[in-house]
Amino acid sequence: MAKRADMLPFMDAVKNLSEELLPLKEKLKTLKKDKADKGKISVVEEAIKAINDTHMVFEIIDNINLQGQVVATAMNNLRGLL
């Protein structure tokens, strides 16, 4: 359970990033549908890209934490066999 508690700040950050991303995607969809100025579309696309890049970092951190848990479990099982 301690590992999960360690991950909570990262999980909250991912949730917050996702909440920021959804309205931007909707805005982009609307801008494209309305054939808005390419500059406006570009600004929204860059904002989405920045959020996605940050989101990927948190996914990597979460995956590293998960793999660490798998390794710890395997090591404990191996110790039990010795």
Work out how many domains the chain is built from and give that number: 1
Give the closest residue to 40 by CA, choosing from 53, 50, 30, 54: 30
- pLDDT of amino acid 48: 85
Low-confidence ranges of the chain (pLDDT < 50): none
- pLDDT of amino acid 24: 87
- pLDDT of amino acid 55: 65
- pLDDT of amino acid 76: 92
- pLDDT of amino acid 54: 66
Which domain covers residue 63, as residue numbers? 2-81
58 in Cβ contact with 14 (< 8 Å): yes
- pLDDT of amino acid 20: 79
